[in-house]
Structure 1
Amino acid sequence: MLNLYPTDFYYEIKSSYTIIRGKDGIKHLERVLTTKIENIEFGNKHESLLCDLNGRVIDLLTIYIIKNELLIVGNSIKGDEVRRILSTGIPWNEDIIVLNADESIRKVILSGDKINRIFKNIYDSILKLKDFDWLESGDNIISTNNRHKITSIEILMPKNEMNIIKEKLIENKFKMINEKEWNKFRIDVGIINHKEIDNRIPFNVGMKELVKMDKGCYPGQEIHARLESRGKLTKTLVRLSCQNFLKEGEYKIDGGGKIIITTAYDGKGNKSKFLGIIPIKYVEMDKIVLTNGIEMVIEEVVSFQSLNFHR
């Protein structure tokens, strides 16, 4: 399955970038995020959700702890909303400044056997990185992701260095994949994207790891606590395959309920692949049958794996 990708590839992830400056930045984030962040240190990265008052996901955020500021990376279309939320509810006596860095930073993810050629001088240090750490190389922030079937490297860089990085990758035979190829890669290795979680309850889309009920209040916490106390999931995120291609959207299931296809890859004669949200009652079955007669094979449940070293 995984050998359908180029041996060495890279992809530019469209993201939003927010910088928080001031000594009370972490304290402020602790009030709004679904995870505990107060004990993280310089050189760490942390993942969390920002939810609305109804407990639905606004965005998945990755926070990099830098010396005098916090760098927050989120979905490209959610940046303004995230910054608006982070800019409200700041006590008058706290030192917090929220800045828009969307036009200053870019993000690339790469994977392959030739990564050592890209990072000759720091490759040994990269190999020693934990998923919750990052290191600095010039003006670039480098981190690893070992949570999936293929290890990948993430690079955050100044926008004006993007072409330099691309030239180096191309020189070393890395292929730039397009959005369609990236979506197939995500489906195959189980990377959850904004398309899966946007405006959804975290428990229904494999994001339970990023909801910590033992921390203080945050937006949506009451809803999450109520759902957890019931102790019963109603939906779950799964990977599926099918001989037919179906566009992203909702489809009725013959046994009742519906599937919401969040990401779809057209196999064009081979099996098409999907990420989708299904009623929990189908999760132990081998397949679901839609009311139009199309069969979809349920391959596995997809859950987010937290990199946070403190829970």
Structure 2
Amino acid sequence: MSSESFLHPLAEVFILPSSISVVKGTDALEHLNRSLTTDTTQIGLHGKQDALLCNANGRILDRLTICNLEEQVILVGNHGTGGDTRQQLLQGVPWDQDVAILDGDAAIGHLKLVGRAVDRCLVGLGFDPTDIDLQSWTEFGSS
């Protein structure tokens, strides 16, 4: 019996509780490059990359998905860690850099679709499934 036999015939929507932080400013990606375990300076527009935030002793504080939206960078982290993540990122901002770190916990939802016919659900939401790239950020319902 394949693992696919356990999947919903269309798709199930899972709401993933996550912390959301927004990093704004002309030096946002450069600042994140110094603070995280990955090179953020090469993330393209609407690009997406995973990274870890560690303290000075190397202890992992949060696992983040970084989404570059040009004028701002969205950080999707573990549920309940947003305040500590933002505080850690704020501590490393030099006085002469243009970086602001904002709480976005109530502004953005994080969903996952799982099933045999996820593409049908995406079409119903107005997406062309062939336009979705797993390495990019996809926005829906932005005002």
TM-score by length of 2: 0.86
* Secondary structure of the corresponding residue to residue 98 of structure 2: coil
1:122 aligned onto 2:128: yes
1:47 corresponds in structure 2 to 50
Aligned to 1:82, the other structure's residue is in SS state helix
The number of aligned residues is 137
1:101-250 paired onto structure 2 within 5 Å: 101-120=104-123, 121-126=127-132, 129=133, 131-139=134-142
What residue is the counterpart of 1:66 in the other structure?
69
CA distance, structure 1, for counterparts of residue 111 and residue 121 of structure 2: 13
Can you list the C-alpha shifts for 1:29-57, whole angstroms capped at 9, x where unaligned?
11111111111111100110011222221
Structure 1 CA distance for aligned equivalents of residues 6 and 130 of structure 2: 28
SS in 1 for 2:110: strand
TM-score by length of 1: 0.42
Query: CA offset at residue 4 of structure 1?
Result: 3.0
Shift of residue 91, structure 1, vs aligned partner: 1.3
Q: Which residue of the partner structure matches residue 25 of structure 1?
A: 28
Structure 2 SS opposite 1:41: coil
Equivalent residue, structure 1, for 2:6: 4
Q: 1:57 aligns with which of 60, 64, 73?
A: 60
The 1:114/1:31 distance shift into structure 2, 3 A limit, reads same
3-state SS of 1:70 partner = strand
Q: Give, as a single letter, the amino acid of the residue that structure 2 aligns with 1:47.
A: D
RMSD, matched Cα: 1.8
- The amino acid that maps onto 2:68 is I
Deviation for aligned residue 1:104? 1.3
Partner secondary structure for residue 87 of structure 1: helix
| Deviation, structure 1 residue 113 | 2.7
Q: Sequence identity of aligned pairs in percent?
A: 31
Greater Cα radius of gyration, structure 1 or 2: 1
Which runs of 5 or more residues in structure 2 are unaligned? none
Per-residue CA deviations over 1:113-149 (Å, capped at 9, x if unaligned) read: 32222222422212xx2x322333442xxxxxxxxxx
Structure 1, unaligned stretches of length 5 or more?
140-157, 159-311
Q: How far 1:70 sits from its partner (Å)?
A: 0.2
CA deviation map 1:175-224 (0-9, x unaligned): xxxxxxxxxxxxxxxxxxxxxxxxxxxxxxxxxxxxxxxxxxxxxxxxxx
User: Is the contact made by 2:7 and 2:114 (CA closer than 8 Å) also made in structure 1?
Assistant: no
